[in-house]
Structures are given as C-alpha cells and as structure tokens.
Structure 1
Amino acid sequence: MAEPSNTLTALDAELILALLGRGINQHDIAALFQVNPGRVAEIATGEKFAGSRPADLNEPSVRQHLVTTAMLAAGRIHRVALMGLGTR
C-alpha cells in the first residue's frame, strides 16, 4: 500500500525554491519532501505558494528544517529497504 503524499507548508515551499536555486533537480527535491514531483513543479512555476521567495539557507531555523526533512526521508527509505528484505 502506497503512503499518502506529504502536505507541504509555506516554509517547505520556500526551502524548495532555495534548493531549486542551488541546481537540485525537481525529482530529488520531491523525494526529499516525500511528495509527487508535480508538487515541486507547481511551486517552481508559482502555481502553488505564489509569491513565495527562496528561503535563506544560512538561517539556522531553515537549516534545521532541511536537516529534519532529510532525516525523515532517510528513515522512510530505511523502512522501505527493510520491507524489501523481508525484515521490519
């Protein structure tokens, strides 16, 4: 059973814009935030979170949010790998 897509926040959208500005591709960003790549494309085009500006990646709270997001994604990948191996 597939897990539902995460809901993105305004801070997520700002972080996505910052990552796009750093040249990270949309597919990798979508995997990081555990969403469909279409959600990232909607943010990139301004269809969703219109008027958002890229987050300042030097801001400590933004950096912490990025690290937390990455850790959650890594945990999910770990669980999926264990399921594939038949262990949980």
Structure 2
Amino acid sequence: MKSNLVLNKAKITYLMEWRMNHRQIETDILHLERIIGRISPEDRIPLSYWRNRINSVASSALVPAQQSRMQRIHERLTQLEASN
C-alpha cells in the first residue's frame, strides 16, 4: 500500500511539473509572438538575443500547435536577420 502511495505522489509531482512547464512555454511563445512583429534590426536588443530565446523555447517539449507557432516566429526572425 505504501509503495502505491509513493508512486501516486510521484505521478502527481510529475504532472504538476509538466503543467507548470507547459504554462511557462505557452507564456514564452505568446511573448515572442507579440515581440516578433515589433522588433527591427536597429533595436537596442540585438536580434541574436531573440534568436537565442527562440531556440531555447523551440528546444522544449512542444505540442504540434506550438511547433507551428514557433516555426512562424523563427521564419519572421530569419526575415529580419536577412534584412540586416
């Protein structure tokens, strides 16, 4: 009985951590979506910073819809980098 309790507690902990991580990823993607349309190569914050942020979020465990959104963000930044 005690081993089942430990196992259930481990499952709950895993699910809570996944849910918090998922929320953070979603928050990060929303932020990048808002920012990517407003930045330019002449901004104070260099495009390399945004490339690192995009790569960091993209390396997370994303669901297909998030992957598509990150692809659009990546493509927009690539356009900005090419115009620089």
Normalising by structure 2, we get a TM-score of: 0.35
Judging by fraction of residues, say which structure has more helix: 2
Q: TM-score, normalised by structure 1?
A: 0.34
- Ranked by relative contact order (alpha carbons within 8 Å, sequence separation 6 or more), the top structure is 2
